[in-house]
C-alpha cells in the first residue's frame, strides 16, 4: 500500500483557482477504482495545526496499491495550466493506530516496528466542539517548539474542515529524533496528556511512514 501527499502552491492570486479545484478534483478521484481512499484539503500557514488558512496552498491525500496508480492526468494538467508549484511525497505506512472517517484507511498496522530510519508522521484529529478552546489554546506553543526541533526536515498542516478536522504531516531524519520531540519535549508531552485526560478528540489517527520518493515540479 502506498500513500501520496500532493501539495500544490498556486501563484499569488491563485487562491480562487485552488478553492475551485477542491470541488472539481472529486470527480476524477472518485471514479478511479485503483484509489482506495482520498482527501482534498486546505493547508495552514505555519506547517502544523493552524487556525489561519493558506489560500494559495492545497493538499491531496491518496491511498493506492502502487505509485503508478495515482497519476491523474487531469489533475496534473490542471496544475500545469495554472502554474502551481507541486510537491509529491510517496510513503509506505508501517505503524500506527486510529481511524479516519471510521475507517482504517492504511490497513491493519502494528503500533510499533523495528524501523529506525527517516520517517514521516501523520497526526490527525477531529476536535470536539466543546474542546476547541482548549485545543487551540495549547497547540501554538507546540508548533513553535517543533519548528526548531532537532531532526525535523519539514512539516505541513492540512485540514478537511477549518478549526475542527485537522492533520499534520512531519518529516524527520530519524525515528529517534521524532520520538525525542514527541515524548521528551515537556510542552508537547503535556498536550498529549491533556488530549487523553480531557477527551479533546472524537476521532484520531497516528501513523508513521517510510518516505519513498519526493518529486517537485
Residues 6+ apart with CB under 8 A from 143: 46, 47, 48, 49, 50
Q: What's the whole-number mean pLDDT along residues 107-126?
A: 95
pTM value is: 0.92
- The alpha-helical segments, DSSP class H, found in 59-131 are 73-81
Q: What's the whole-number mean pLDDT along residues 197-210?
A: 95
Q: pLDDT digits over 53-111, tens only?
A: 899 999 999 999 876 555 688 999 999 999 999 999 999 999 999 999 999 999 999 99
Residue 154 has a pLDDT of: 92
Give yes or no for residue 145 having a pLDDT over 90: no
Q: pLDDT digits over 156-184, tens only?
A: 999 998 889 999 999 999 999 999 888 87
- The alpha-helical segments, DSSP class H, found in 117-185 are 132-147, 175-179
- Band (141; pLDDT cuts 50, 70, 90): confident
Query: Hey, what CATH topology would domain 2-216 get?
Result: Alpha-Beta Plaits (3.30.70)
Q: What's the whole-number mean pLDDT along residues 144-157?
A: 88
Residue 70 has a pLDDT of: 59
- Band (15; pLDDT cuts 50, 70, 90): confident
Residue 69 has a pLDDT of: 56
Whether residue 121 contacts residue 178, with contact meaning beta carbons closer than 8 Å, is answered with: yes
Whether residue 57 contacts residue 9, with contact meaning beta carbons closer than 8 Å, is answered with: yes
Residue reference for cell 474542515: 161
Give yes or no for residue 210 having a pLDDT over 70: yes
Taking the C-alpha atoms of residue 203 and residue 157, their distance in angstroms, rounded to an integer, is: 17
Enumerate the β-bridge partners of residue 213. 90
Residue 136 has a pLDDT of: 86
| DSSP letter assigned to residue 76 | H
C-alpha R_g of the chain:
17
Mean pLDDT across the chain, nearest whole number? 90
Residue reference for cell 497519476: 71
Taking the C-alpha atoms of residue 86 and residue 212, their distance in angstroms, rounded to an integer, is: 17
Strand, helix or coil at 196?
helix
Q: pLDDT digits over 44-69, tens only?
A: 886 766 777 899 999 999 999 876 55
Q: Which residue has the higher pLDDT, 46 or 202?
A: 202
Amino acid at each position: 500500500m502506498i500513500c501520496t501527499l500532493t501539495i500544490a502552491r498556486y501563484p499569488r492570486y491563485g487562491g480562487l483557482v485552488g478553492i475551485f479545484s477542491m470541488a472539481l478534483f472529486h470527480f476524477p478521484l472518485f471514479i478511479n477504482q485503483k484509489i482506495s481512499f482520498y482527501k482534498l484539503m486546505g493547508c495552514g500557514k505555519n506547517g502544523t495545526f493552524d487556525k489561519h488558512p493558506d489560500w494559495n496552498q492545497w493538499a491531496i491525500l491518496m491511498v493506492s496499491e502502487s505509485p503508478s496508480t495515482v497519476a491523474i492526468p487531469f489533475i496534473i494538467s490542471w496544475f500545469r495550466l495554472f502554474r502551481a508549484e507541486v510537491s509529491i511525497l510517496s510513503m509506505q505506512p508501517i505503524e500506527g493506530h486510529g481511524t479516519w472517517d471510521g475507517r482504517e484507511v492504511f490497513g491493519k498496522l502494528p503500533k510499533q516496528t523495528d524501523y529506525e530510519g527517516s520517517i514521516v508522521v501523520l497526526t490527525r484529529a477531529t476536535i470536539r466542539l466543546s474542546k476547541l478552546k482548549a485545543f487551540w489554546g495549547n497547540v501554538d506553543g507546540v508548533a513553535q517548539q517543533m519548528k526548531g526541533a532537532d531532526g525535523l526536515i519539514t512539516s505541513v498542516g492540512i485540514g478537511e474542515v477549518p478549526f475542527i478536522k485537522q492533520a499534520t504531516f512531519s518529516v524527520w531524519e530519524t525515528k529517534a529524533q521524532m520520538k525525542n520531540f514527541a515524548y521528551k519535549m515537556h510542552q508537547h508531552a503535556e498536550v498529549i496528556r491533556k488530549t487523553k485526560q480531557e477527551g479533546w478528540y472524537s476521532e484520531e489517527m497516528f501513523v508513521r511512514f517510510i518516505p519513498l520518493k519526493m518529486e517537485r515540479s
